[in-house]
Amino acid sequence: MLENKVVVITGGTRGIGFEVAKLFKKNKAEVIIFGSKEETVSKAIEKLNAMNLNVSGYYPNLKDYSLVEKTIKDIIRKYGHIDILINNAGITSSKKIEDTTIEEFNNIMDINVNAMFYMIKAIVPYMKENNGGAILNTSSMVSIYGQPIGVGYPTSKFAVNGLTKSLARELAPYNIRVNAVAPGIINTDMVANLPKEVIEPLVKTIPLGRIGKPIDIANAFLFLASDNASYISGEILSVDGLARS
């Protein structure tokens, strides 16, 4: 489905991003994963190589636009174009507002929103030159319903939805589609670290009766990245087992 496409995936070393990298590579894309550290990127590449899924990787500080821009230029020099961007890097918090420091809140916004903007800003000029592309952002079910504790994460994901819908309008004339996937409760490290009092009440609201798997989200990304979704832009696709707050 993605033959000859060059794909950049932030947060691609584990969880949803790693599953997306696997699935996209199986669909013949040229996959480049971004991670926060050289060690984690190297380990992820080793795991994928062991599956005969050869990818490359980088570890720029996504909070530094100059480093993001430099890395994107390096990728363009190597591959010639970037067709698909998956903005998946993100962090969360489950602290009460009185326990959340200004620095912690700002860091969530820096990673979940500002870094996403930096990636898009750096890549869009090349997508325009290449007559189009697809930008896919990881949102969350909490961007629609909020959550009972940890205000920074849902705040950032509300911003992701606004960025997605606005850029879909702005970039449509250039044949650049912008969509987001809003996962529900997915069996990842991030969810495993949340307290039971946050997770258990949410699971009870899911009519399908289970926590989602990373492949459930990867399949949604694959659809939106492919030509099967060529007439879809500005959508926030919920993949949550019909979860409700």
pLDDT digits (tens, 9 = 90+) for 127-176: 999 999 999 999 999 998 888 899 999 999 999 999 999 999 999 999 99
pTM score: 0.93
**Which residues, 6+ apart, have CB-to-CB distance to 89 below 8 Å?**
10, 11, 17, 34, 36, 62, 111, 112, 115, 116
Q: What span, in angstroms and rounded, lies between the C-alpha atoms of 238 and 181?
A: 6
pLDDT at 220: 98
Instruction: Write the pLDDT tens digit of every residue in 74-111.
Output: 999 999 999 999 999 999 988 999 999 999 999 999 99
pLDDT at 105: 96
Instruction: Write the pLDDT tens digit of every residue in 4-52.
Output: 999 999 999 999 999 999 999 999 999 999 999 999 999 999 999 999 9
pLDDT at 244: 62
Predicted confidence (pLDDT) at residue 192 exceeds the cutoff of 90 = no
Q: What span, in angstroms and rounded, lies between the C-alpha atoms of 157 and 154?
A: 5
Q: What is the mean pLDDT of the chain?
A: 94
Q: What span, in angstroms and rounded, lies between the C-alpha atoms of 36 and 59?
A: 5
* Token pair belonging to 124: 């869009």
Structural domains present in the chain? 6-237 (3.40.50.720)
Within the chain, strands assigned E span 6-10, 30-34, 56-58, 84-87, 133-138, 176-183, 236-239
pLDDT at 40: 97
> In percent, how much of the chain has pLDDT > 90?
83
Catalytic positions: 153
Q: What span, in angstroms and rounded, lies between the C-alpha atoms of 210 and 14?
A: 21
Q: What span, in angstroms and rounded, lies between the C-alpha atoms of 137 and 179?
A: 6
